Structure 1
Amino acid sequence: MTTAVAAPSTRDGFAVWCGWVLIAIAAATPAFAWLAPKGFAALVALGGLLTLPAFRIRDEDRPSLIILFAALIWAAASTTWSPFHPKGASTSTILKMALELPLYWSLVCAAHRAEAGLRQRALHVLAWGLTAFAVILVAETFTGGALYQALRRTVYGDHVMRPDIAQAKLGHATFVMTAILPIAFVGAPRRLRIGLGVVMVLGAGAAAYAFGSDAPLIALVAAPLIGLATLRWPTAIPRLMSLGAAVLFLCAPLVVWTVRAFADYEGIEHAMPKSYALRMGYWSHAIDWIALRPLQGWGLDASRMFAPGIQLHPHDGPLQVWLELGAVGAITAAAFWSVSLLRLTRPRRDPAAAATAACAGVYLLFGALNFGMWQEWWLAMGALIVVLAALLQPSTSPPILA
């Protein structure tokens, strides 16, 4: 009588764990986009914490991480001259960023480490989830946000959110969806990709139009153009985007100053819709304060102290970097984006690189018009884009972003 001895399994248990963590994040992404976009900071940080053993620094990652670390050190130093003083850990931007960098990076590493089949499953889950969310968004356009309000009533009892606020929240959700839609499209099951993509675009577009979100509508046009151009010119377009991002961060104050000096800035401002007129006012005040401290800036989170000229932040990421961190901060931001986008260059067509370039373009667009540079949920969205881009990339291919 003989006993069969089972061959030892070669399956990497930690790679499987990373894969399932990423599947859970992909499944949760549409729900967070719809109901709690600010929760992305906790979601991505938790994912990084659960996959912390995946943390690695490869040779090709060093330039990006060195720039990020240098920027973190400079931001920390700037808190010593900033007029804004956090009341505790919950309002300390520098403390949050110091924790976010290793946690978010560990999740990026986990995306590279995860088992190939589970990486693909995570992308499929994301695509189906965003498609379902798109259907919900279409329904919300007909109901004026009634589904969202009903959920609020269920969660908060007697508290009823005003319809206009609910619609603004839904408009906010379209920013999240359009920021990751190119990756979701390329990661969708191949045979269903076109159909799922059409539904996602229609849902995001309908809600953005109905609820007054202009930037996502622009993104729905810009993202396909960037993606297709990157497919057609896989070397030239990432290089051009790298240069463009550097110019955006280095020359943002000059652009506003030029318009103000050689055009009727106030006339343009008064002719704009209210939200854009307010932005133009913030930008004008920002360059005046930048001129007073062009090198070192006013310190991290100083924008919060410049009311009523600026409310919370200038609604322009590059100008906020200049205002708070000065030329030093602008140079590090330009260097980070330039290095990251250059990593998308390919010798031949690469759908993963094209989708990532499209997402990067959308992220830069939104950052230049809408959100505060250091909002934790917005930084988490940037990290999530990098994580999803890593899922698209075969392990034998060149690294994508970082």
Structure 2
Amino acid sequence: MGEGGRLERWCGWVLVGVAVLVPLLAWLAQLGFAPLMALAGLLMLPALRLSRDDRPVLIVLLVALAWAAVSSTWSPHVPKNPEDSTALKLGLQLPLYWSAICGARRASPGLRNLALQILAWGLAALGLMLIFEAVTGGAIYQALHGRFIEPIRPDLAGRNLGRATFVLALLWPLATVGAMRGGAPGWLAAPMAVGTVVGAIAFNADAPAIAVALAAVVGLAVLRWPADAPRALGSLAAVLFIVMPAVVLAGRAAAQALSIAPGLPLSWAMRLGYWSHAADWIGDHPLRGWGLEASRAFGPGIVLHPHNSPLQVWLELGAAGALLAAAVWWLALSRLTRDKPDLIAAAAAASAMIYLLFGAVNFGVWQEWWLAAAALCVALAGAIKGQNVLRPSTRDPI
């Protein structure tokens, strides 16, 4: 077998290793996704390619990366050392994560199917584990943490297990279709979905429970309208990034005019406060923004980040950054357009909208493990589809 065959086998074995580790990291150490995807990309660098179909998204990402790096020169947040530089990290993540995506596409069919089976069974086991952890109050997680790291308070253990439900909610649509494509039973979706909902409710994570229903709605819409739904979703995502500050200001003005003071849980009340402060500060530098990672300098009005991706992009990168983010989302989702129903496109769209949901209410744009989770989703789509991943086509529907 020639050089191409050796590379395909090598990428396949790397993909198998990733599949083995993903469920464990999702349960015990979500921050490990960043080094996992970086290592996978490094190992699969020989597979790095830039196809004509990929070029538009990558060009916009490169321009956005350059703008983010330039904006760091006027940001009030100054990293203490190069290891803390978000611009440097993003500059390394883009090629490494793209290499992992290309490697997943290039993996040999047999090993690719093996990886998809391992991942599906592993995430189904994670779903069952989350149900058990919900019933026992995180007993196994606390025991393992105390045995190998240090004792952990039950509330902190619950918070970490709640984060696991975010990962499972994000991955289950693609893992389900991957299971069907790789030869594993489709019913593995049930423990993934149920485990997400039960764990989310038990560990006070609202968004993952909503995400399971959102995935079903988005997936069915893309299957029903394969040519129009992806473009509509892409347009919706782009519009949200462009108009979010205006939406927040309009909502606040309406609440004040009507003297509405809703009683909300503390976490949601804090989010509304962050969003209101962010919208005000966006008005000071609406075009260029305050600079990369400037959100960290706005405490106590904002703690770390606004917990809303469009607002964070506006606050730090201004209108230019918001337009670039809108372009990335529109290009990524609209290229899922198909002439006929395609389960891979439906699953990819579902995971993309879940990522958008979580970014709108939970995570910061630049969180390393969360960016790695996005790269993992694209890599999974590539592994399921192969070389023609995300390319509009009437061929090879599942």
Please, what TM-score do these two structures have when normalized by structure 2? 0.95
Alignment of 1:2-401 (within 5 A): 12-156=5-149, 159-189=150-180, 193-264=185-256, 270-396=262-388, 399=391
The structure-2 alpha-carbon separation of the partners of 1:208 and 1:255, relative to structure 1 and needing over 3 Å to count, comes to same
Check whether the contact 1:269–1:276 (CA below 8 A) recurs between aligned residues: no
User: C-alpha displacement at 1:262, in angstroms?
Assistant: 2.1
Instruction: State how far apart, in whole Å, the 2-side matches of 1:274 and 1:149 are.
Output: 26
Check whether the contact 2:11–2:106 (CA below 8 A) recurs between aligned residues: yes
Instruction: State how far apart, in whole Å, the 2-side matches of 1:31 and 1:198 are.
Output: 19
Check whether the contact 1:269–1:281 (CA below 8 A) recurs between aligned residues: no
Deviation per residue, 1:202-235 (Å, 9 max, x gap): 1111111111110000001100110011111101
Check whether the contact 2:295–2:306 (CA below 8 A) recurs between aligned residues: yes
Q: Which amino acid aligns with 2:177?
A: V
Q: What root-mean-square deviation, in Å, do the aligned CA atoms of Structure 1 and Structure 2 show?
A: 1.6
Instruction: State how far apart, in whole Å, the 2-side matches of 1:322 and 1:148 are.
Output: 38
Q: Which amino acid aligns with 2:174?
A: I
Deviation per residue, 1:249-273 (Å, 9 max, x gap): 0011010011112233896565111
The structure-2 alpha-carbon separation of the partners of 1:327 and 1:140, relative to structure 1 and needing over 3 Å to count, comes to same
Between 1:190-199 and 1:105-114, the stretch displaced more is 190-199
Deviation per residue, 1:86-110 (Å, 9 max, x gap): 0012211001000000000001110
User: C-alpha displacement at 1:195, in angstroms?
Assistant: 2.3
Q: Which amino acid aligns with 1:357?
A: A
Instruction: State how far apart, in whole Å, the 2-side matches of 1:81 and 1:269 are.
Output: 37
Check whether the contact 1:48–1:105 (CA below 8 A) recurs between aligned residues: yes
Question: Secondary structure at 2:242's aligned position in 1?
Answer: helix
Partner of 2:396: none
How many residue pairs were aligned?
A: 391
Check whether the contact 1:186–1:193 (CA below 8 A) recurs between aligned residues: no
Larger radius of gyration: 1
Task: Give aligned-pair identity as a percent.
Answer: 53
Check whether the contact 1:259–1:265 (CA below 8 A) recurs between aligned residues: no
Instruction: State how far apart, in whole Å, the 2-side matches of 1:395 and 1:55 are.
Output: 12
Check whether the contact 1:141–1:210 (CA below 8 A) recurs between aligned residues: yes
Q: Which amino acid aligns with 1:127?
A: A
Instruction: State how far apart, in whole Å, the 1-side matches of 2:261 and 2:273 are.
Output: 8
Instruction: State how far apart, in whole Å, the 1-side matches of 2:379 and 2:364 are.
Output: 21
User: C-alpha displacement at 1:279, in angstroms?
Assistant: 0.4
Instruction: State how far apart, in whole Å, the 1-side matches of 2:328 and 2:4 are.
Output: 36
Instruction: State how far apart, in whole Å, the 1-side matches of 2:290 and 2:70 are.
Output: 11
Q: Which amino acid aligns with 2:232?
A: L
User: C-alpha displacement at 1:197, in angstroms?
Assistant: 1.1
Instruction: State how far apart, in whole Å, the 2-side matches of 1:183 and 1:268 are.
Output: 41
Instruction: State how far apart, in whole Å, the 1-side matches of 2:4 and 2:47 are.
Output: 16
Check whether the contact 1:170–1:207 (CA below 8 A) recurs between aligned residues: yes
Instruction: State how far apart, in whole Å, the 1-side matches of 2:331 and 2:285 are.
Output: 27
Instruction: State how far apart, in whole Å, the 1-side matches of 2:282 and 2:87 are.
Output: 21
User: C-alpha displacement at 1:168, in angstroms?
Assistant: 1.0
The structure-2 alpha-carbon separation of the partners of 1:265 and 1:172, relative to structure 1 and needing over 3 Å to count, comes to farther
Check whether the contact 2:296–2:302 (CA below 8 A) recurs between aligned residues: yes
User: C-alpha displacement at 1:350, in angstroms?
Assistant: 0.5
Q: Which amino acid aligns with 2:121?
A: W
User: C-alpha displacement at 1:10, in angstroms?
Assistant: 8.6
Please, what TM-score do these two structures have when normalized by structure 1? 0.94
Deviation per residue, 1:180-208 (Å, 9 max, x gap): 10001111147753421111111111111
Question: Secondary structure at 2:338's aligned position in 1?
Answer: coil
Q: Which amino acid aligns with 2:379?
A: V
User: C-alpha displacement at 1:66, in angstroms?
Assistant: 0.6
Instruction: State how far apart, in whole Å, the 1-side matches of 2:186 and 2:390 are.
Output: 27
Check whether the contact 2:177–2:186 (CA below 8 A) recurs between aligned residues: no
Check whether the contact 1:269–1:280 (CA below 8 A) recurs between aligned residues: no
User: C-alpha displacement at 1:136, in angstroms?
Assistant: 1.0
Question: Secondary structure at 1:12's aligned position in 2?
Answer: helix
Where structure 1 has 5 or more consecutive residues not aligned to the other structure, the ranges are 1-7
User: C-alpha displacement at 1:15, in angstroms?
Assistant: 0.4
